[in-house]
Amino acid sequence: MSNLLELQPPDLWQHFTALNSVPRPSKHEARVIQHMQEFARQLGLPVETDEAGNVLIGKPASPGRENRPTVALQSHLDMVHQKNEGTRFDFATEGIRMRREGDWVRAEGTTLGADNGIGVAAMMAVLASRDLVHPPLEALFTIDEETGMTGARELRGGWLKAHTLLNLDTEDDDELTIGCAGGLDVVGSGRYAVEPVPQDHVVLGLKLDGLKGGHSGMDIHLGRGNANKLMNRFLLSSQARVAWIDAGGLRNAIPREATAVVAVADRAAFEESVREYAATLTREYATTDPDLRFRLVEDQADGVMELDFQRRLLRVLQALPNGVYRMSPDMPGLVQTSNNLARVLVKDGQYSLQCLTRGSVQSEKRDMAASVQAALELLGAEVELSGDYPGWTPRPESSIVKLMSGLYREMFGQEPHVTACHAGLECGILGQNYPDMEMISFGPNIRGAHSPDECVQVSSVQKFWRFLAATLERL
Protein backbone atom coordinates (compact mmCIF):
# COMPACT_ATOMS: atom_id res chain seq x y z
CA MET A 1 0.00 0.00 0.00
CA SER A 2 2.94 2.34 0.64
CA ASN A 3 3.53 2.95 -3.08
CA LEU A 4 0.06 4.52 -3.32
CA LEU A 5 1.30 7.43 -1.22
CA GLU A 6 3.83 8.19 -3.95
CA LEU A 7 1.09 8.77 -6.53
CA GLN A 8 -0.05 12.15 -7.78
CA PRO A 9 -1.84 14.11 -6.44
CA PRO A 10 -0.31 12.97 -3.14
CA ASP A 11 -2.88 14.59 -0.83
CA LEU A 12 -5.79 12.88 -2.56
CA TRP A 13 -4.17 9.44 -2.37
CA GLN A 14 -3.15 10.02 1.23
CA HIS A 15 -6.74 10.80 2.18
CA PHE A 16 -8.03 7.83 0.18
CA THR A 17 -5.60 5.50 1.96
CA ALA A 18 -6.62 6.86 5.37
CA LEU A 19 -10.31 6.57 4.45
CA ASN A 20 -9.89 2.94 3.38
CA SER A 21 -8.40 2.10 6.75
CA VAL A 22 -11.79 2.88 8.31
CA PRO A 23 -14.53 0.21 7.94
CA ARG A 24 -17.51 1.99 6.36
CA PRO A 25 -20.29 -0.35 5.23
CA SER A 26 -23.68 1.16 4.46
CA LYS A 27 -25.79 1.71 7.60
CA HIS A 28 -22.69 1.36 9.80
CA GLU A 29 -20.89 4.64 9.17
CA ALA A 30 -20.30 5.76 12.78
CA ARG A 31 -16.53 5.35 12.54
CA VAL A 32 -16.16 7.14 9.22
CA ILE A 33 -18.42 9.98 10.43
CA GLN A 34 -16.09 10.38 13.41
CA HIS A 35 -13.12 10.27 11.01
CA MET A 36 -14.55 13.18 9.01
CA GLN A 37 -15.42 15.20 12.11
CA GLU A 38 -11.87 14.85 13.44
CA PHE A 39 -10.46 15.73 10.01
CA ALA A 40 -12.40 19.01 10.02
CA ARG A 41 -11.40 19.85 13.57
CA GLN A 42 -7.71 19.33 12.80
CA LEU A 43 -8.04 21.84 9.96
CA GLY A 44 -9.96 24.28 12.12
CA LEU A 45 -12.93 24.19 9.73
CA PRO A 46 -16.56 24.41 10.88
CA VAL A 47 -18.27 21.01 10.87
CA GLU A 48 -21.85 19.96 11.54
CA THR A 49 -23.55 16.56 11.58
CA ASP A 50 -27.30 16.28 11.11
CA GLU A 51 -29.68 13.76 12.65
CA ALA A 52 -29.18 11.30 9.78
CA GLY A 53 -25.38 11.31 10.13
CA ASN A 54 -24.52 13.49 7.12
CA VAL A 55 -21.44 15.63 7.67
CA LEU A 56 -21.16 19.21 6.38
CA ILE A 57 -17.79 20.99 6.43
CA GLY A 58 -17.42 24.61 5.40
CA LYS A 59 -14.38 26.37 4.00
CA PRO A 60 -13.99 30.12 3.41
CA ALA A 61 -13.21 31.39 -0.05
CA SER A 62 -9.70 32.03 -1.28
CA PRO A 63 -8.58 35.66 -0.87
CA GLY A 64 -10.38 37.84 -3.38
CA ARG A 65 -13.12 35.25 -3.97
CA GLU A 66 -15.23 36.06 -0.92
CA ASN A 67 -18.08 37.55 -2.95
CA ARG A 68 -18.42 34.58 -5.28
CA PRO A 69 -21.54 32.37 -4.90
CA THR A 70 -21.05 29.40 -2.57
CA VAL A 71 -20.44 26.03 -4.25
CA ALA A 72 -21.26 22.64 -2.71
CA LEU A 73 -19.15 19.50 -3.23
CA GLN A 74 -20.85 16.18 -2.47
CA SER A 75 -19.89 12.51 -2.15
CA HIS A 76 -21.09 9.59 -0.03
CA LEU A 77 -19.10 8.01 2.80
CA ASP A 78 -20.33 4.40 2.62
CA MET A 79 -19.08 1.69 0.29
CA VAL A 80 -20.32 -1.62 -1.08
CA HIS A 81 -18.84 -4.65 0.70
CA GLN A 82 -18.24 -7.61 -1.61
CA LYS A 83 -15.46 -10.20 -1.58
CA ASN A 84 -14.44 -13.22 -3.58
CA GLU A 85 -15.22 -16.65 -2.26
CA GLY A 86 -12.22 -17.84 -0.31
CA THR A 87 -11.02 -14.32 0.54
CA ARG A 88 -10.43 -14.09 4.28
CA PHE A 89 -11.48 -10.58 5.18
CA ASP A 90 -13.66 -8.98 7.85
CA PHE A 91 -15.22 -5.76 6.55
CA ALA A 92 -16.34 -4.85 10.08
CA THR A 93 -12.82 -4.67 11.49
CA GLU A 94 -10.24 -4.54 8.68
CA GLY A 95 -9.12 -1.78 6.36
CA ILE A 96 -9.13 -2.39 2.62
CA ARG A 97 -5.90 -3.95 1.38
CA MET A 98 -4.88 -2.09 -1.78
CA ARG A 99 -2.26 -2.61 -4.44
CA ARG A 100 -1.17 -0.89 -7.63
CA GLU A 101 -1.05 -2.75 -10.95
CA GLY A 102 0.40 -0.46 -13.59
CA ASP A 103 -2.03 2.41 -14.10
CA TRP A 104 -4.71 0.88 -11.87
CA VAL A 105 -5.31 0.54 -8.15
CA ARG A 106 -7.41 -2.36 -6.87
CA ALA A 107 -8.05 -4.28 -3.68
CA GLU A 108 -6.99 -7.80 -2.75
CA GLY A 109 -10.10 -9.91 -3.27
CA THR A 110 -12.61 -7.27 -2.15
CA THR A 111 -14.29 -4.14 -3.38
CA LEU A 112 -11.92 -1.19 -3.39
CA GLY A 113 -14.20 1.60 -2.21
CA ALA A 114 -13.19 3.97 -5.01
CA ASP A 115 -16.96 4.30 -5.34
CA ASN A 116 -17.26 6.86 -3.76
CA GLY A 117 -14.03 7.03 -1.76
CA ILE A 118 -12.10 8.82 -4.48
CA GLY A 119 -14.75 11.56 -4.49
CA VAL A 120 -14.55 11.81 -0.69
CA ALA A 121 -10.74 11.93 -0.81
CA ALA A 122 -10.81 14.64 -3.49
CA MET A 123 -13.11 16.76 -1.30
CA MET A 124 -10.79 16.25 1.67
CA ALA A 125 -7.83 17.33 -0.45
CA VAL A 126 -9.72 20.47 -1.51
CA LEU A 127 -10.58 21.29 2.10
CA ALA A 128 -6.98 20.76 3.25
CA SER A 129 -5.33 22.65 0.37
CA ARG A 130 -3.73 26.04 0.89
CA ASP A 131 -3.01 26.53 -2.81
CA LEU A 132 -6.29 25.93 -4.66
CA VAL A 133 -8.29 28.97 -5.75
CA HIS A 134 -11.98 28.57 -5.02
CA PRO A 135 -15.21 30.30 -3.93
CA PRO A 136 -16.81 29.70 -0.53
CA LEU A 137 -17.33 25.94 -0.18
CA GLU A 138 -19.75 23.55 1.47
CA ALA A 139 -18.51 19.95 1.52
CA LEU A 140 -21.40 17.54 2.06
CA PHE A 141 -20.59 13.93 2.95
CA THR A 142 -23.73 11.79 2.92
CA ILE A 143 -24.31 8.35 4.45
CA ASP A 144 -26.00 5.14 3.29
CA GLU A 145 -26.11 5.97 -0.40
CA GLU A 146 -25.60 2.39 -1.50
CA THR A 147 -28.52 0.74 0.30
CA GLY A 148 -31.23 3.35 0.24
CA MET A 149 -29.83 6.88 -0.12
CA THR A 150 -30.89 7.49 3.48
CA GLY A 151 -28.55 10.42 3.96
CA ALA A 152 -29.90 12.33 0.97
CA ARG A 153 -33.48 11.49 1.95
CA GLU A 154 -33.09 12.68 5.53
CA LEU A 155 -30.80 15.63 4.85
CA ARG A 156 -31.52 18.50 7.20
CA GLY A 157 -33.82 20.95 5.46
CA GLY A 158 -32.29 24.26 4.40
CA TRP A 159 -28.81 23.14 5.41
CA LEU A 160 -27.10 24.01 2.13
CA LYS A 161 -26.73 27.61 1.01
CA ALA A 162 -25.08 26.85 -2.34
CA HIS A 163 -26.90 27.19 -5.65
CA THR A 164 -24.44 24.95 -7.52
CA LEU A 165 -23.53 21.38 -6.51
CA LEU A 166 -20.69 19.25 -7.86
CA ASN A 167 -21.39 15.56 -7.23
CA LEU A 168 -18.16 13.50 -7.48
CA ASP A 169 -19.71 10.06 -7.96
CA THR A 170 -19.49 8.96 -11.59
CA GLU A 171 -17.10 6.53 -13.22
CA ASP A 172 -15.95 7.81 -16.63
CA ASP A 173 -13.60 10.77 -16.83
CA ASP A 174 -14.86 11.95 -20.22
CA GLU A 175 -18.47 12.24 -19.04
CA LEU A 176 -20.44 15.04 -17.46
CA THR A 177 -23.53 13.44 -15.96
CA ILE A 178 -26.63 15.62 -15.77
CA GLY A 179 -29.35 13.03 -15.05
CA CYS A 180 -29.88 9.59 -13.53
CA ALA A 181 -32.40 6.83 -12.92
CA GLY A 182 -34.60 6.40 -9.89
CA GLY A 183 -35.01 3.10 -8.09
CA LEU A 184 -37.49 0.94 -6.21
CA ASP A 185 -36.91 -2.19 -4.11
CA VAL A 186 -39.38 -5.06 -4.58
CA VAL A 187 -39.13 -7.90 -2.06
CA GLY A 188 -41.32 -11.00 -1.88
CA SER A 189 -41.23 -13.21 1.21
CA GLY A 190 -43.15 -16.04 2.84
CA ARG A 191 -43.03 -19.52 4.29
CA TYR A 192 -43.16 -23.00 2.81
CA ALA A 193 -43.42 -26.60 4.00
CA VAL A 194 -40.37 -28.83 4.31
CA GLU A 195 -40.51 -32.58 3.62
CA PRO A 196 -38.00 -35.32 4.48
CA VAL A 197 -35.39 -36.18 1.89
CA PRO A 198 -36.75 -39.15 -0.12
CA GLN A 199 -35.07 -42.36 1.06
CA ASP A 200 -33.83 -43.34 -2.38
CA HIS A 201 -32.18 -39.95 -3.02
CA VAL A 202 -28.63 -38.71 -2.49
CA VAL A 203 -27.93 -35.13 -1.36
CA LEU A 204 -25.55 -33.00 -3.45
CA GLY A 205 -24.52 -29.36 -3.58
CA LEU A 206 -24.35 -27.11 -6.62
CA LYS A 207 -22.02 -24.12 -6.89
CA LEU A 208 -22.04 -21.40 -9.53
CA ASP A 209 -19.34 -18.72 -9.26
CA GLY A 210 -16.69 -16.82 -11.22
CA LEU A 211 -19.20 -14.44 -12.79
CA LYS A 212 -18.16 -10.82 -13.36
CA GLY A 213 -21.11 -9.25 -11.55
CA GLY A 214 -20.85 -5.50 -11.30
CA HIS A 215 -23.03 -2.46 -10.72
CA SER A 216 -26.69 -3.24 -11.36
CA GLY A 217 -27.16 0.21 -12.90
CA MET A 218 -23.96 1.03 -14.75
CA ASP A 219 -23.27 -2.55 -15.94
CA ILE A 220 -26.79 -3.93 -16.46
CA HIS A 221 -26.58 -3.50 -20.25
CA LEU A 222 -23.36 -5.50 -20.63
CA GLY A 223 -25.09 -8.89 -20.80
CA ARG A 224 -23.26 -10.41 -17.86
CA GLY A 225 -24.67 -13.53 -16.27
CA ASN A 226 -26.95 -13.26 -13.25
CA ALA A 227 -26.09 -16.16 -10.90
CA ASN A 228 -29.66 -16.32 -9.57
CA LYS A 229 -31.18 -16.73 -13.01
CA LEU A 230 -28.54 -19.19 -14.23
CA MET A 231 -28.85 -21.43 -11.17
CA ASN A 232 -32.62 -21.42 -11.44
CA ARG A 233 -32.46 -22.29 -15.13
CA PHE A 234 -30.66 -25.51 -14.27
CA LEU A 235 -32.88 -26.41 -11.32
CA LEU A 236 -36.02 -25.89 -13.39
CA SER A 237 -34.78 -28.26 -16.08
CA SER A 238 -33.62 -30.96 -13.65
CA GLN A 239 -35.55 -33.69 -11.87
CA ALA A 240 -33.92 -32.83 -8.55
CA ARG A 241 -35.73 -32.10 -5.31
CA VAL A 242 -34.43 -28.81 -4.00
CA ALA A 243 -33.42 -28.54 -0.34
CA TRP A 244 -32.38 -24.87 -0.30
CA ILE A 245 -31.04 -22.00 -2.40
CA ASP A 246 -28.71 -19.20 -1.26
CA ALA A 247 -27.83 -16.97 -4.19
CA GLY A 248 -26.87 -13.39 -4.92
CA GLY A 249 -26.21 -10.66 -2.40
CA LEU A 250 -26.53 -6.89 -2.42
CA ARG A 251 -29.54 -5.27 -4.07
CA ASN A 252 -27.40 -3.02 -6.28
CA ALA A 253 -24.91 -5.66 -7.47
CA ILE A 254 -25.38 -8.12 -10.31
CA PRO A 255 -25.25 -11.54 -8.58
CA ARG A 256 -21.93 -13.30 -9.02
CA GLU A 257 -22.42 -16.51 -7.01
CA ALA A 258 -25.17 -19.02 -6.22
CA THR A 259 -25.38 -22.16 -4.13
CA ALA A 260 -28.11 -24.79 -4.06
CA VAL A 261 -28.49 -28.15 -2.34
CA VAL A 262 -30.58 -30.85 -3.99
CA ALA A 263 -31.58 -34.50 -3.62
CA VAL A 264 -31.44 -36.75 -6.68
CA ALA A 265 -32.38 -40.35 -7.40
CA ASP A 266 -29.75 -41.02 -10.08
CA ARG A 267 -26.40 -39.51 -9.17
CA ALA A 268 -24.59 -40.52 -12.35
CA ALA A 269 -27.23 -39.02 -14.63
CA PHE A 270 -27.34 -35.86 -12.55
CA GLU A 271 -23.55 -35.47 -12.65
CA GLU A 272 -23.71 -35.73 -16.43
CA SER A 273 -26.40 -33.04 -16.61
CA VAL A 274 -24.21 -30.76 -14.48
CA ARG A 275 -21.27 -31.27 -16.86
CA GLU A 276 -23.47 -30.54 -19.87
CA TYR A 277 -24.92 -27.39 -18.35
CA ALA A 278 -21.46 -26.17 -17.33
CA ALA A 279 -20.33 -26.58 -20.94
CA THR A 280 -23.40 -24.72 -22.16
CA LEU A 281 -22.79 -21.79 -19.86
CA THR A 282 -19.11 -21.71 -20.79
CA ARG A 283 -20.08 -21.32 -24.45
CA GLU A 284 -22.83 -18.78 -23.83
CA TYR A 285 -20.82 -16.55 -21.49
CA ALA A 286 -17.31 -16.96 -22.90
CA THR A 287 -17.11 -13.25 -23.71
CA THR A 288 -18.82 -11.63 -20.72
CA ASP A 289 -17.97 -14.12 -17.94
CA PRO A 290 -14.92 -16.15 -19.00
CA ASP A 291 -14.18 -17.37 -15.46
CA LEU A 292 -17.64 -18.82 -14.83
CA ARG A 293 -17.72 -22.19 -13.06
CA PHE A 294 -20.65 -24.56 -12.41
CA ARG A 295 -19.97 -27.73 -10.50
CA LEU A 296 -21.00 -30.25 -7.87
CA VAL A 297 -19.83 -29.90 -4.27
CA GLU A 298 -20.46 -32.06 -1.26
CA ASP A 299 -23.22 -30.86 1.06
CA GLN A 300 -25.97 -32.05 3.38
CA ALA A 301 -29.65 -31.42 4.00
CA ASP A 302 -32.29 -32.82 6.33
CA GLY A 303 -35.28 -31.93 4.18
CA VAL A 304 -36.47 -30.67 0.80
CA MET A 305 -39.10 -28.18 -0.30
CA GLU A 306 -42.65 -29.41 -0.61
CA LEU A 307 -42.92 -30.37 -4.28
CA ASP A 308 -45.74 -28.05 -5.34
CA PHE A 309 -43.97 -25.06 -3.77
CA GLN A 310 -40.72 -26.01 -5.50
CA ARG A 311 -42.43 -26.11 -8.89
CA ARG A 312 -44.11 -22.75 -8.38
CA LEU A 313 -40.95 -21.14 -6.98
CA LEU A 314 -38.75 -22.18 -9.88
CA ARG A 315 -41.33 -21.05 -12.43
CA VAL A 316 -41.73 -17.68 -10.77
CA LEU A 317 -37.96 -17.19 -10.69
CA GLN A 318 -37.85 -18.11 -14.36
CA ALA A 319 -40.58 -15.58 -15.13
CA LEU A 320 -39.16 -12.68 -13.12
CA PRO A 321 -37.77 -10.01 -15.46
CA ASN A 322 -34.06 -9.40 -15.22
CA GLY A 323 -31.77 -7.06 -17.10
CA VAL A 324 -32.63 -4.27 -19.52
CA TYR A 325 -36.34 -3.73 -20.12
CA ARG A 326 -36.18 -0.64 -22.32
CA MET A 327 -33.51 1.60 -23.79
CA SER A 328 -34.06 5.34 -23.91
CA PRO A 329 -35.61 6.48 -27.20
CA ASP A 330 -34.19 9.97 -26.62
CA MET A 331 -30.59 9.37 -25.47
CA PRO A 332 -28.77 6.74 -27.57
CA GLY A 333 -27.10 4.03 -25.51
CA LEU A 334 -28.84 4.93 -22.25
CA VAL A 335 -30.76 2.24 -20.39
CA GLN A 336 -34.15 3.65 -19.43
CA THR A 337 -35.66 0.82 -17.36
CA SER A 338 -34.25 -2.39 -15.86
CA ASN A 339 -34.67 -4.94 -13.10
CA ASN A 340 -32.01 -6.80 -11.14
CA LEU A 341 -32.97 -10.10 -9.47
CA ALA A 342 -30.48 -9.48 -6.70
CA ARG A 343 -31.07 -12.05 -3.95
CA VAL A 344 -32.69 -15.46 -3.65
CA LEU A 345 -32.70 -17.04 -0.19
CA VAL A 346 -34.95 -20.08 0.27
CA LYS A 347 -34.04 -22.07 3.35
CA ASP A 348 -35.47 -23.61 6.53
CA GLY A 349 -39.09 -23.01 5.55
CA GLN A 350 -38.72 -19.31 4.74
CA TYR A 351 -37.98 -17.49 1.51
CA SER A 352 -37.01 -13.98 0.42
CA LEU A 353 -36.72 -12.87 -3.22
CA GLN A 354 -35.27 -9.38 -3.69
CA CYS A 355 -35.21 -7.15 -6.77
CA LEU A 356 -34.08 -3.60 -7.51
CA THR A 357 -36.02 -1.91 -10.29
CA ARG A 358 -34.47 1.17 -11.89
CA GLY A 359 -35.92 3.69 -14.30
CA SER A 360 -35.46 7.28 -15.42
CA VAL A 361 -39.17 7.52 -16.29
CA GLN A 362 -41.16 7.23 -13.06
CA SER A 363 -44.30 5.73 -14.63
CA GLU A 364 -42.31 3.07 -16.49
CA LYS A 365 -40.29 2.24 -13.38
CA ARG A 366 -43.52 1.70 -11.44
CA ASP A 367 -44.87 -0.49 -14.26
CA MET A 368 -41.72 -2.63 -14.20
CA ALA A 369 -42.06 -2.99 -10.43
CA ALA A 370 -45.70 -3.99 -10.90
CA SER A 371 -44.60 -6.80 -13.23
CA VAL A 372 -42.16 -8.06 -10.59
CA GLN A 373 -44.83 -7.78 -7.91
CA ALA A 374 -47.35 -9.71 -10.01
CA ALA A 375 -44.93 -12.59 -10.54
CA LEU A 376 -44.11 -12.77 -6.83
CA GLU A 377 -47.79 -12.72 -5.87
CA LEU A 378 -48.38 -15.77 -8.10
CA LEU A 379 -46.10 -17.58 -5.65
CA GLY A 380 -48.24 -16.38 -2.76
CA ALA A 381 -45.52 -14.07 -1.50
CA GLU A 382 -46.13 -11.06 0.69
CA VAL A 383 -44.68 -8.25 -1.42
CA GLU A 384 -43.15 -5.05 -0.08
CA LEU A 385 -42.23 -2.07 -2.26
CA SER A 386 -39.81 0.27 -0.51
CA GLY A 387 -36.96 2.71 -0.94
CA ASP A 388 -38.55 4.54 -3.86
CA TYR A 389 -36.24 7.35 -4.92
CA PRO A 390 -36.65 9.72 -7.87
CA GLY A 391 -34.57 10.14 -10.96
CA TRP A 392 -32.71 13.33 -11.78
CA THR A 393 -34.13 15.28 -14.73
CA PRO A 394 -31.40 16.64 -17.05
CA ARG A 395 -31.01 20.42 -17.47
CA PRO A 396 -28.53 20.64 -20.37
CA GLU A 397 -28.89 24.43 -20.67
CA SER A 398 -27.84 25.15 -17.09
CA SER A 399 -24.88 27.46 -16.56
CA ILE A 400 -22.77 24.81 -14.78
CA VAL A 401 -23.12 22.41 -17.72
CA LYS A 402 -22.07 25.14 -20.17
CA LEU A 403 -19.14 26.22 -17.98
CA MET A 404 -17.76 22.74 -17.43
CA SER A 405 -18.31 21.62 -21.02
CA GLY A 406 -16.35 24.61 -22.30
CA LEU A 407 -13.62 24.10 -19.71
CA TYR A 408 -13.30 20.42 -20.64
CA ARG A 409 -12.84 21.34 -24.32
CA GLU A 410 -10.27 23.96 -23.37
CA MET A 411 -8.26 21.62 -21.12
CA PHE A 412 -8.45 18.33 -23.02
CA GLY A 413 -9.08 19.32 -26.64
CA GLN A 414 -12.22 17.26 -27.12
CA GLU A 415 -15.92 17.30 -26.42
CA PRO A 416 -17.10 15.77 -23.14
CA HIS A 417 -19.95 13.31 -23.22
CA VAL A 418 -22.82 15.17 -21.59
CA THR A 419 -25.12 12.37 -20.61
CA ALA A 420 -27.41 10.73 -18.08
CA CYS A 421 -26.72 7.39 -16.37
CA HIS A 422 -28.80 4.40 -15.31
CA ALA A 423 -27.30 4.35 -11.83
CA GLY A 424 -28.93 6.11 -8.92
CA LEU A 425 -27.27 9.36 -7.87
CA GLU A 426 -28.23 11.43 -4.87
CA CYS A 427 -28.82 14.46 -7.09
CA GLY A 428 -32.38 13.32 -7.81
CA ILE A 429 -33.29 13.36 -4.13
CA LEU A 430 -31.31 16.50 -3.35
CA GLY A 431 -33.08 18.24 -6.21
CA GLN A 432 -36.44 17.71 -4.53
CA ASN A 433 -35.33 19.81 -1.55
CA TYR A 434 -33.30 22.27 -3.62
CA PRO A 435 -35.26 22.60 -6.90
CA ASP A 436 -33.35 25.69 -8.05
CA MET A 437 -29.91 24.19 -7.44
CA GLU A 438 -27.82 23.47 -10.53
CA MET A 439 -26.09 20.08 -10.29
CA ILE A 440 -23.57 18.10 -12.28
CA SER A 441 -21.69 14.86 -11.59
CA PHE A 442 -18.22 13.77 -12.73
CA GLY A 443 -15.36 11.55 -11.61
CA PRO A 444 -12.39 9.40 -12.68
CA ASN A 445 -12.43 6.09 -14.51
CA ILE A 446 -13.64 3.38 -12.13
CA ARG A 447 -14.29 -0.13 -13.39
CA GLY A 448 -16.05 -3.08 -11.75
CA ALA A 449 -17.79 -1.03 -9.05
CA HIS A 450 -19.80 -3.11 -6.55
CA SER A 451 -17.63 -6.17 -7.25
CA PRO A 452 -14.19 -7.43 -6.11
CA ASP A 453 -12.94 -6.46 -9.59
CA GLU A 454 -13.36 -2.78 -8.72
CA CYS A 455 -10.38 -0.65 -9.72
CA VAL A 456 -9.58 3.02 -10.35
CA GLN A 457 -7.19 4.42 -12.95
CA VAL A 458 -4.29 6.45 -11.58
CA SER A 459 -3.85 8.69 -14.64
CA SER A 460 -7.59 9.31 -14.72
CA VAL A 461 -7.59 10.41 -11.07
CA GLN A 462 -4.93 12.94 -12.00
CA LYS A 463 -7.08 14.20 -14.89
CA PHE A 464 -10.15 14.36 -12.65
CA TRP A 465 -8.24 16.34 -10.02
CA ARG A 466 -6.98 18.91 -12.53
CA PHE A 467 -10.49 19.33 -13.90
CA LEU A 468 -11.99 19.72 -10.43
CA ALA A 469 -9.37 22.29 -9.43
CA ALA A 470 -9.84 24.27 -12.65
CA THR A 471 -13.64 24.19 -12.24
CA LEU A 472 -13.45 25.58 -8.72
CA GLU A 473 -11.16 28.35 -9.95
CA ARG A 474 -13.69 29.33 -12.64
CA LEU A 475 -16.74 29.31 -10.37
Q: Residue 175 carries which DSSP code?
A: E
Instruction: Give 261-295 pLDDT, tens digit per residue.
Output: 999 999 999 999 999 999 999 999 999 999 999 99
Predicted local confidence at residue 157, as pLDDT:
84
Rounded CA-CA distance 453/441 in Å is 23
Residue 392 has pLDDT above 80, yes or no: yes
Residue 429 has pLDDT above 80, yes or no: yes
Residue 195 has pLDDT above 70, yes or no: yes
Residue 3 has pLDDT above 80, yes or no: no
Residue 2 has pLDDT above 80, yes or no: no
Beta strand pairing call for 164-167 and 438-441: parallel
Rounded CA-CA distance 360/203 in Å is 45
Are 450 and 379 in the same domain?
Answer: no
Are 369 and 407 in the same domain?
Answer: no
Binned at pLDDT 50, 70 and 90, residue 93 comes out as very high
Beta strand pairing call for 47-49 and 55-59: antiparallel
DSSP SS3 for 208: strand
Predicted local confidence at residue 6, as pLDDT:
84
* Average pLDDT over every residue of 198-205: 95
Within a 10 A sphere around the Cβ of 83, how many other Cβ atoms?
A: 17
Predicted local confidence at residue 419, as pLDDT:
93
Residue 214 has pLDDT above 80, yes or no: yes
DSSP SS3 for 38: helix
145 is catalytic: yes
Domain residue limits at 434? 2-181+391-474
Question: How many separate domains does the chain show?
Answer: 2
Predicted local confidence at residue 86, as pLDDT:
85
Predicted local confidence at residue 5, as pLDDT:
73
- The residue type at 415: E
Are 125 and 198 in the same domain?
Answer: no
Q: How far is CA 392 from CA 14, 144, 292, 441, in A?
A: 32, 18, 36, 11
Are 148 and 279 in the same domain?
Answer: no
Within a 10 A sphere around the Cβ of 473, how many other Cβ atoms?
A: 14
Are 25 and 121 in the same domain?
Answer: yes
Percent of the chain topping pLDDT 70: 100
Binned at pLDDT 50, 70 and 90, residue 331 comes out as confident
Are 71 and 112 in the same domain?
Answer: yes
Predicted local confidence at residue 167, as pLDDT:
98
Here the CATH number for the domain that contains residue 114 is 3.40.630.10
Are 380 and 398 in the same domain?
Answer: no
Instruction: Give 42-64 pLDDT, tens digit per residue.
Output: 999 999 999 999 999 999 999 99
Structural domain ending residue among the three candidates 350, 367, 387: 387
- The residue type at 116: N
Catalytic residue chosen out of the listed positions 29, 144, 145, 175 = 145
Residue 216 has pLDDT above 70, yes or no: yes
Q: What interhelical angle do 458-474 and 10-19 show, nearest 10?
A: 110
Cβ–Cβ < 8 Å for 459, 120: no
Are 204 and 248 in the same domain?
Answer: yes
Structural domain ending residue among the three candidates 387, 402, 421: 387
Cβ–Cβ < 8 Å for 122, 466: no
* Average pLDDT over every residue of 387-408: 94
Are 27 and 60 in the same domain?
Answer: yes
- Bigger pLDDT: 156 vs 30: 30
Are 166 and 253 in the same domain?
Answer: no
* Average pLDDT over every residue of 309-323: 98
Instruction: Give 70-91 pLDDT, tens digit per residue.
Output: 999 999 999 999 898 889 999 9
**Of 170, 82, 251, 90, the residue nearest 447 (C-alpha):** 170
Rounded CA-CA distance 355/44 in Å is 45
Are 374 and 395 in the same domain?
Answer: no
Rounded CA-CA distance 404/393 in Å is 18
Binned at pLDDT 50, 70 and 90, residue 250 comes out as confident
284 is catalytic: no
Are 175 and 190 in the same domain?
Answer: no
Predicted local confidence at residue 375, as pLDDT:
97
Structural domain ending residue among the three candidates 350, 365, 387: 387
Rounded CA-CA distance 321/34 in Å is 41
| Alpha helices for 57-202 (secondary structure H) | 114-128, 150-153
Predicted local confidence at residue 196, as pLDDT:
96
Predicted local confidence at residue 148, as pLDDT:
82
For the whole model, what pTM was predicted? 0.80
Binned at pLDDT 50, 70 and 90, residue 454 comes out as very high
- The residue type at 260: A
**Of 175, 170, 253, the residue nearest 219 (C-alpha):** 253
